[in-house]
A and B are shown apart, each in its own frame.
Chain A
Amino acid sequence: MFDIERWQEIFDTIRKNKLRTFLTGLSVASGIFILVILLGFGQGMQNGIDAEFKEDAATSIWVWPNRTTIEYKGLNPGRRIQLRNENYEAISSANKEDIEKASMLYFPRGTQMVYNNDLLVYEVAGTNGNLQSIENEFLSEGRYINETDVQQNAKVVVISNKIKREVFSHLESPLGEYLMISGAGFKIVGVFGEHGENEGEEERVFIPITTAQLAFNGADRLNNLNYMLPEMESFEATIKKNDEFTKELLSYLKQYHDVAPEDERAIRLWNPIQEAKRFYTLGTAIEIFFWVVGLFTIIAGVVSVSNIMLIVVKERTREIGIRKALGAQPWSIIGMIMHEAIFVTAIAGFSGLIFSMGLLEIVGPEIEVDYILNPSVDFKVALSTVILLIGAGALAGFFPAWKAVRVQVIEALKEE
């Protein structure tokens, strides 16, 4: 390996056989290049799918009650279930570790909203500061409901962009204005917006949950429970956590409200991550597809390298005979051929690797197509592919070389 004479001999051979070397190198380099680009785009599609579903489907969970449909413990079906503060607190304290954000909604009934003597028909909802993250709302002005508002039963209100447009268009900013809700003045402290075209949700104003319950005779009643779970290190883990949490939550609520365990309709739950699971399965299928294609590319690469080595050695049979007649040891000839094969495939393989990874590095982030995001390749995977190809080249060189060396010198010299 470190025999300088051997290296010189090999460089001589390579220099004198440029075309042969170039073709061998080209096939190895292009094999690696295609493979890396392929794997890169496989990864890109994976990334793209991940990104697509992440947008609509965070790890949020919405829970709301309905009527029971099954008789249970002597209670008739059709009974309306009412969520209470106690439920919220019990779930929050039992799952402190698992919940990233917890919020609730209470819709007071029969409220009247007035501004400047105009009656407004928007929904009033009591909530806490966490809802903003769970609903994925953005703030365009001021602030959202916060912890202090909730503690102090503050008479503050957060309105939507739509309401600002429809009611406060004459003002620079609606902040500091007062909305009269059932006779009580609520100071506008913020304006929120929904992402995308989802303006249906903007028909609402938010006030602190405590204020809503106190001021509008809500007692401890709640209409919705909303949660956001943390994202785990893998999608599977997130789904698993999500499943565990929802199961536990439903079983607690059913038990508390005397709902039959098999009653699926009494307490409803919306869980977008389950939708995402379908996309994820698609992603896995795509990943498998790219691996299979990649694997066949590697096999094709191995075959072509082997083929070239076979021809190279065949072409050199006479030369091997001459070298043997001049006193070359069999192993020195095998060593020379393999040394050359490994050297050429290694140089070519790494150039292909560097070139393709460079291309992905430069072009990858520029690609803006749905479902393809930042195509990139795991360096370790690419590197082991190069090493595999080099190994294949060496092995493919070894057997014909060994065979050629076994041929009697006289026979080898007869080869043309």
Chain B
Amino acid sequence: MIKIENLHKSYKMGNNSLHVLKGINFSVEEGELVAIMGSSGSGKSTLLNILGMLDLLDEGSYTLDNVPIDNLTETKAANYRNKFLGFVFQSFNLINYKNAMENVALPLYYQRVGRKERQEKALKYLDQVGLKEWATHLPSELSGGQKQRVAIARAMAAEPKVLLADEPTGALDSKTSYEVMDLIQKINDDGNTILIVTHEPDIAEMCKRVVHLKDGVIIEDKKVEQVRAAQYVQ
């Protein structure tokens, strides 16, 4: 599904160049649930941004679902993001003046899905995350966990090839974090490919594979025995 070869990325900071990713080789098969771990500054977020086409790579190659991702223009990146990728952010990034259902329906708008179908689909995905009754509520009326579930529903509504989550539990307490991870595991059980950036070991343990980044290189890449989050959720 994802194949990355010899990925380099540096940032210019004044006269200095900061080499963030120093030759990453990495691939993800369909249906995997991968945690990318590392301390802050290890380059994990940069990697996720490049995977999400939110940032450009300097060197190396990136293939997503057998499509080489290169020569990205804004328009092309927008197309790929819309077709291939779903995002979940630490700070949820819901549009505050749209209610839960409208937020979930938004990626479908950019897929040129009709209004009626958009609403039906949005309700279906809200139902999946257990928030159907909250469809007409604004983000400000939802709790953190609920917001993140809406965000996950929004990411899934576009039916992406890969779901990218950047610290999805970073702003949540542990109980809510487990609820969200339970949801992510269930989505993964349905065969969806998911990448999670996290620095919390207990979250990483709930994935099937953990990739450890340090100073811009992968120092560890191992399959783990998945801890089901459901056991922590009453």
A binding-site residues for B, Cβ under 8 Å: 5, 8-9, 12-13, 16-17, 318-319, 321-332, 405, 408-410, 413
Known contacts A8-B115, A17-B97: does B89 contact A330 (CB below 8 Å)?
A: no
Residue in contact with A325 in the complex, picked from B81, B111, B112, B115, CB distance below 8 Å: B81
B75 touches A16 (CB 8 A): no
A-B contact pairs, 23 of them (CB 8 A): A5-B109, A8-B115, A9-B109, A12-B102, A16-B97, A16-B98, A17-B97, A321-B93, A322-B95, A324-B81, A325-B52, A326-B107, A326-B110, A326-B154, A327-B79, A327-B81, A327-B82, A327-B83, A327-B107, A328-B110, A330-B74, A410-B54, A410-B55
A13 touches B97 (CB 8 A): yes
Q: Does B106 contact A (CB under 8 A)?
A: yes
Chain A contacts of B85 at CB under 8 A?
A: 327
Residue in contact with B87 in the complex, picked from A318, A325, A405, CB distance below 8 Å: A325
Chain B contacts of A413 at CB under 8 A?
A: 89, 91, 93
Cα distance A171–B154 when bound, in Å?
A: 102
Interface centre among B78, B91, B98, B102 (most CB of A within 10 A): B78
B98 touches A12 (CB 8 A): yes
B binding-site residues for A, Cβ under 8 Å: 49, 52, 54-55, 74-75, 78-79, 81-83, 85, 87, 89, 91, 93-95, 97-98, 102, 106-107, 109-112, 114-115, 154, 158
Residue in contact with A324 in the complex, picked from B55, B78, B94, CB distance below 8 Å: B78
Cα distance A8–B113 when bound, in Å?
A: 13
Chain B contacts of A409 at CB under 8 A?
A: 54
Cα distance A223–B119 when bound, in Å?
A: 96
Chain B contacts of A319 at CB under 8 A?
A: 95
Excluding A325-B52, A326-B106, A410-B55, 4 further A-B contacts by CB distance (< 8 Å) are: A5-B112, A325-B87, A327-B85, A413-B89
Cα distance A185–B205 when bound, in Å?
A: 134
Known contacts A13-B97, A16-B98, A413-B93: does B111 contact A327 (CB below 8 Å)?
A: yes
Q: Report B7 CB to chain A, min CB distance, Å.
A: 17
Known contacts A5-B112, A408-B54: does B78 contact A328 (CB below 8 Å)?
A: yes
Chain B contacts of A405 at CB under 8 A?
A: 74
Number of A-B residue pairs with CB-CB distance less than 8 Å in the complex they form: 69
A327 touches B158 (CB 8 A): yes
A322 touches B109 (CB 8 A): no
Chain A contacts of B83 at CB under 8 A?
A: 327
Chain A contacts of B78 at CB under 8 A?
A: 324, 327-330
- In this complex, what residue of B is CB-closest to A17? B97
Cα distance A405–B93 when bound, in Å?
A: 17
Q: Report A412 CB to chain B, min CB distance, Å.
A: 10
Interface centre among B54, B74, B82, B102 (most CB of A within 10 A): B54
Cα distance A9–B154 when bound, in Å?
A: 17
Q: Report A57 CB to chain B, min CB distance, Å.
A: 65
Interface centre among B83, B93, B107 (most CB of A within 10 A): B93
Residue in contact with B55 in the complex, picked from A330, A332, A408, CB distance below 8 Å: A408
- In this complex, what residue of B is CB-closest to A16? B97
- In this complex, what residue of A is CB-closest to B106? A326
- In this complex, what residue of A is CB-closest to B52? A325
Chain B contacts of A17 at CB under 8 A?
A: 97
Residue in contact with B106 in the complex, picked from A321, A323, A332, CB distance below 8 Å: A323
Residue in contact with A5 in the complex, picked from B75, B82, B115, CB distance below 8 Å: B115
- In this complex, what residue of A is CB-closest to B118? A5
- In this complex, what residue of A is CB-closest to B80? A327
Cα distance A189–B197 when bound, in Å?
A: 112
Cα distance A288–B207 when bound, in Å?
A: 77
Cα distance A341–B95 when bound, in Å?
A: 19
Chain A contacts of B106 at CB under 8 A?
A: 323, 326
**Top 6 closest A-B pairs, CB basis?**
A327-B82, A16-B97, A326-B107, A409-B54, A327-B81, A327-B110
Q: Report A345 CB to chain B, min CB distance, Å.
A: 20
Chain A contacts of B114 at CB under 8 A?
A: 5
Known contacts A325-B81, A327-B79: does B110 contact A332 (CB below 8 Å)?
A: yes
Chain A contacts of B107 at CB under 8 A?
A: 326-327
B75 touches A322 (CB 8 A): no
Chain B contacts of A328 at CB under 8 A?
A: 78, 82, 110
B158 touches A325 (CB 8 A): no
Interface centre among A321, A331, A332, A413 (most CB of B within 10 A): A413
Chain B contacts of A322 at CB under 8 A?
A: 93-95
Interface centre among A326, A331, A332 (most CB of B within 10 A): A326
- In this complex, what residue of A is CB-closest to B48? A410
Q: Report A355 CB to chain B, min CB distance, Å.
A: 29
Known contacts A9-B109, A12-B98, A16-B97: does B158 contact A326 (CB below 8 Å)?
A: yes
